[in-house]
Amino acid sequence: MDSLTYPFDLAAGWLQEHAILPALYALGLMNWEEVAYGWALFAVYGATQVVVTYAICLPLERWRPVERWPDSRAVTVDIFYTLLSRVGLLPLMTFVLFYRVQVFLTGWVTDNGWVPPTIERVFPFLLGQPVLTFAIYVVILDFSEYWRHRLSHLFDWWYSLHSLHHAQRQMTFWSDDRNHLLDDTIGFVWFMAVALLIGIPPMQFPLLVLLLRFVESLSHANVRLWFGWLGERLVVSPRFHRAHHGLMAAGLASVNYGGVLPWWDMLFRTADFGHDYVPTGDPSAEEVLATGSYAAQQAAGVRRMVRTVAGRGAEPAAQSDPV
Q: Is 6 in the site for another protein (CB under 8 A)?
A: yes
Q: Cα(244)–Cα(236) distance, rounded to whole angstroms?
A: 11
Of 131, 203, 299, 314, the one binding another protein (CB under 8 A) is: 203
**What residue spans of the chain are helical by DSSP H?**
2-15, 21-27, 33-63, 73-86, 89-111, 119-122, 130-154, 156-166, 181-198, 206-219, 228-232, 238-244, 263-267, 287-291, 294-309
> Given the complex with another protein, which of 203 and 318 has the nearer CB atom?
203
The alpha-carbon radius of gyration of the chain (Å, integer) is 20
Classify 152 as helix, strand or coil: helix
Output the smallest distance, CB 211 to another protein, in A: 17
Question: Residues binding another protein: what is the number (CB under 8 A)?
Answer: 41
Of 62, 63, 69, 121, the one binding another protein (CB under 8 A) is: 121
Output the smallest distance, CB 198 to another protein, in A: 13
| DSSP track, 293-310 | -HHHHHHHHHHHHHHHHT
Stretch that binds another protein, among 96-104, 176-184, 261-269, 286-294 (CB under 8 A): 96-104
Of 72, 76, 204, 293, the one binding another protein (CB under 8 A) is: 204
Output the smallest distance, CB 67 to another protein, in A: 43
Q: Is 103 in the site for another protein (CB under 8 A)?
A: yes
Stretch that binds another protein, among 31-39, 181-189, 190-198, 280-288 (CB under 8 A): 31-39
Q: Is 100 in the site for another protein (CB under 8 A)?
A: yes
> Given the complex with another protein, which of 122 and 306 has the nearer CB atom?
122
Of 58, 65, 80, 116, the one binding another protein (CB under 8 A) is: 116
Q: Cα(132)–Cα(146) distance, rounded to whole angstroms?
A: 21
The partner residues of 280 in beta bridges, in order of sequence, read 246
Q: Is 117 in the site for another protein (CB under 8 A)?
A: no
Q: Is 19 in the site for another protein (CB under 8 A)?
A: no
Of 70, 128, 228, 311, the one binding another protein (CB under 8 A) is: 128
CB 159 within 8 A of CB 152: yes
Q: Cα(101)–Cα(266) distance, rounded to whole angstroms?
A: 34
DSSP state of 20: I
Of 4, 68, 111, 310, the one binding another protein (CB under 8 A) is: 111
Output the smallest distance, CB 31 to another protein, in A: 5
**Secondary element (H or E) of residue 175:** none
Other residues' Cβ atoms within 10 Å of the Cβ of residue 275: 7
> Given the complex with another protein, which of 120 and 232 has the nearer CB atom?
120
Of 47, 58, 84, 109, the one binding another protein (CB under 8 A) is: 109
Interactions with another protein, residue window 209-268 (CB under 8 A): none
Output the smallest distance, CB 93 to another protein, in A: 17
Q: Is 192 in the site for another protein (CB under 8 A)?
A: no
Other residues' Cβ atoms within 10 Å of the Cβ of residue 28: 7
Give Cβ neighbours of residue 1 (< 8 Å, ≥ 6 apart): 130, 207
Residue 256, burial from CB neighbour count under 10 angstroms (0-12, 13-18, 19+): buried
Binding positions for another protein, rule: CB under 8 A: 2, 5-6, 9-10, 12-13, 16-17, 21-22, 25, 28-31, 33, 37, 41, 99-100, 102-104, 106-111, 115-116, 118, 120-121, 127-128, 199, 201, 203-204
